[in-house]
Chain A
Amino acid sequence: MGTVAVHGLCKSFGKVQALDGVTLDVPDGSFFVVLGPSGAGKTTTLRAIAGLEKLDAGSVHLDGRDATGDAPAARDLAMVFQSYALYPRHTAYENIASPLRARRCSSSEIAAAVEQMSSLLHIERLLQRRPAQLSGGEMQRVALARALVRRPRAFLMDEPLTNLDLKLRVEMRTELTRIHRSLGATFVYVTNDQVEALSMADQVAVLKEGKVQQVGTPTEVYERPANQWVAGFVGSPPISLLACHAEGDRLVGAEGWTLPRPRWTTAEDGRPLLLGLRAEDLSVEQRGDASLSGELYGLEPLGDRTVVDVRVGTEILKVKARPTVTGTPGERLHVTVDLDRAHLFDAGTGLSLSEAGR
């Protein structure tokens, strides 16, 4: 068993409301990612689960039992810190052994467990070194080993890959997913990197300013963002948002363009809306019946694709195109829109209006 449930977490630091009623339900054995920009309250949420943060309000349930006031040691959790927090005067071996020492395991048990973990993470040759003699990636592995050496209720990870270089980060992503699958344990993983969230998670919770914006599978969060902010935060290049309103069977843009009104919208005429268009649902190469005209603003070749910036009025659309696409800035062109995959948001509340029709 390893379920983690938090309900109505509130925490303020002085005047800053770090958590504002955060409620999450982490099922047993899932890889649960808490995603959000810095300052969203992700780390505070994790620290609240770990018992390192005294809450203003709310409760933490572990395996269905109320653990709100429990000491961290009593919660039976393991955590990987963003800074790794390896004990500087202890060797890697002693660092990994620490959770077992705290639980008074025999030295033969400890030796066996440390050996098993270090071979899993390929750090056997580092065991006698101190943290100062390890590289960032090596420290990260030792920190991971310290967490994994025990079988806690759940693993908490606070941006464990953020301090690694890109290549190592991609490698560790795969490795963490593999470890999660082989252990079948519950992971609560905090990150501000949406690629990490989308590629590793079973479930993603998107946090902003201490409030949960949306919880769902990576596909749900990407394909059906609950509001304009989630749509803008998840996805790269970011979604393009155009101000418009419905008029009969047309969508009329603030910049004068018109598009056929998608069948699924329920918004009444005249209500201010935002049309959300992802780069991959736009095309500059084919012509369709739903298209916008604009001028080429810039090209961003990214190797496997090129992102074409198209200016429609004063707004910029990001369009994904083949890497071979060419053009000169200022050139007129048409952008074809896949309206079935477009998103509509209420311009006032930011909430998605797409959900109902799909």
Chain B
Amino acid sequence: MAVSVDEAMSTGPVRDHTPPARRFGGRGRSVLEIALLTVLAVVMLFPVLWMIETSIKENRDVYAIPAKFFDFTVTLDHFKDVFVASSGRSALSASFLNSVVVAGVSTVLATVLGVPAAWAYSRFAVKAKKDQLFFILSTRFMPPVVVVIPIFLMYRQVGLIDTKLGLILIYTAFNVPFTIWMMKGFVDEVPAEYEDAAMLDGYTRLQAFWRFTLPLLLPGIAATAVFALIFSWNEFVFAIFLTSSDDVRTAPPAIAGLIGGTTVDWGLVAAASVVFALPVLVFAYLVRKHLVAGVTLGAVRR
């Protein structure tokens, strides 16, 4: 059969007998998918929803049996209680401030230490580079709860127990390996030739890094820093073991401390949790944006 070029190129008739492979399971499968995903979404989101509801319910609605889903009185008293106590500022608000300081400083430190290290590992011939990088990563293998007792003993010896500096140092130690690994990927994406060209232009190696490579790394640094920030912000185990006084404690142990005793003010717990979760949600959104920017970074003619 003779087929003209136009006929051979046409996609019209072909579509009839070769439907996309994805559709072979039929409509039933996609319905099942949607149903499963819905169940999962409800299971995952219910605690969050319940937390938000509890934070704006009046106390008698919080304890109502059967539980009230929709017809309760909305109040912002719990949020007021998070920040204000009868004697002035509440202990919870102090703990939020501590969290900001500890998470912020440890993230900045981890970035300042980790980015140049990542650059060095990416650019220079370092002896046993892979072993070193593996060693650096291995510090993250163990969960905090495994190492917290020895660290507690060490901290007691050097007087870092119950200090913000102690928490900052331990969070930095945990975030530096992460920063090095994340940033090494971003630095690898930036061609080393920019620095080579800059050095031939007459800049020193560090100037070349600072002026030409660093600006290209900013999206990656932002993404990495946000991840480090979220880790430090959420960290619980070290915080509860290594700190005890109200003016040092960060938010996670402080919120946990609200539970216990004879009565639990669930409205306050929920409101504190909402306040605590908000920054993470905002930053998680930012990460998404910056990660995309980080991935498209390597748009270079090679």
Contacts and interface: CB of A to CB of B under 8 A. Distances in A.
B194 A85 contact: yes
Interface in B51-83: none
A54 B125 contact: yes
B197 A85 contact: yes
Contacts of A84: 301
Interface string B203-217: 111010000100110
Contacts of B201: 73, 98-99, 101-102, 146
A131 B193 CA distance: 14
B188 to A, nearest CB: 15
B112 to A, nearest CB: 22
Contacts of A204: none
Interface residues of A, number: 30
A225 B172 CA distance: 63
Contacts of A88: 194, 216, 299-300
B300 A83 contact: yes
A50 interface: yes
Interface string B197-233: 1111111110100001001100000000000000000
5 contacts: A52-B200, A73-B200, A79-B196, A83-B191, A101-B201
Contacts of A132: 299
A78 interface: yes
Nearest to A90: B212
Given A83-B193, A139-B301, A71 B205 contact: yes
Interface of B: 125, 191, 193-194, 196-205, 207, 212, 215-216, 299-302
Contacts, number: 70
A132 B194 CA distance: 15
B216 A102 contact: no
A136 interface: yes
A98 B202 CA distance: 9
A81 B193 contact: yes
A89 B215 contact: yes
B199 A71 contact: yes
A351 to B, nearest CB: 36
B205 A52 contact: no
B198 A136 contact: no
Contacts of B203: 73, 102
A78 B215 contact: no
A98 B193 contact: no
Given A52-B200, A98-B198, 9 more contacts: A72-B196, A79-B197, A81-B196, A87-B212, A88-B194, A88-B216, A89-B215, A98-B197, A102-B198
A30 to B, nearest CB: 20
Contacts of A52: 196, 199-200
Q: Which of B196, B202, B204, B205 has the most CB of A within 10 A?
A: B202
